[in-house]
A = this chain, B = another copy of it.
Amino acid sequence: MNLQERIAASFGAQGLMTTLGARLALVQEGEVHVVLPHSPALSQQQGFMHGGAIASILDSACGYAALTRAPAGHEVVTAEFKINMPRPALGQRFLAIGRVLSAGRMLTVCGGEVRAYADEGEAFKVVALMQATIVNVKA
């Protein structure tokens, strides 16, 4: 099983991603994308997407980005993350991008953002920015 297959299998085993309706969109060395369509089932009280849903897909994107750089025989767990939400998560589709910023033996630092698309076009607004610390643990 190569890395892409391994990550696809792991993502598929995340009950929360299925519940939210999120989909793995890209896996490459040091970068992973997750897509989430808008749904009222994921809203906060004003009808925008809840920050927790946005944080969830970005956490998964960062975690799997870290996994692409983890030493052989290791899994990853998120030790902590920090997320800014500079504007309401308003859109039809949300793209979470997680990227490795620094990969150590034990800890990986990832940066991420969530882009909100109002329609099928290319234009987007950044609705979330994350900095996360991921731990390599022996599988």
Whether B10 contacts A45 by the Cβ 8 Å rule is: yes
Partner of A131, one of B20, B107, B129: B129
Whether B85 contacts A82 by the Cβ 8 Å rule is: no
Flag whether A77 is at the interface (Cβ < 8 A): yes
Whether A50 contacts B16 by the Cβ 8 Å rule is: yes
Whether A53 contacts B16 by the Cβ 8 Å rule is: yes
Beyond A106-B106, A111-B111, 14 extra complex contacts between A and B, CB < 8 Å:
A10-B45, A16-B43, A16-B53, A19-B20, A19-B42, A51-B78, A52-B52, A52-B55, A52-B56, A52-B57, A52-B59, A80-B109, A84-B131, A111-B129
Whether A40 contacts B15 by the Cβ 8 Å rule is: yes
Flag whether A14 is at the interface (Cβ < 8 A): yes
Partner of A52, one of B13, B44, B60, B88: B60
Residue on B with the closest CB to A43? B15
How many chain copies?
4
- Residues of chain A at the chain B interface (Cβ within 8 Å): 10-11, 13-20, 39-46, 50-53, 55-57, 59-60, 75, 77-88, 101-102, 104, 106-107, 109, 111, 126, 129-131, 133, 135
Partner of A16, one of B17, B41, B88, B104: B41
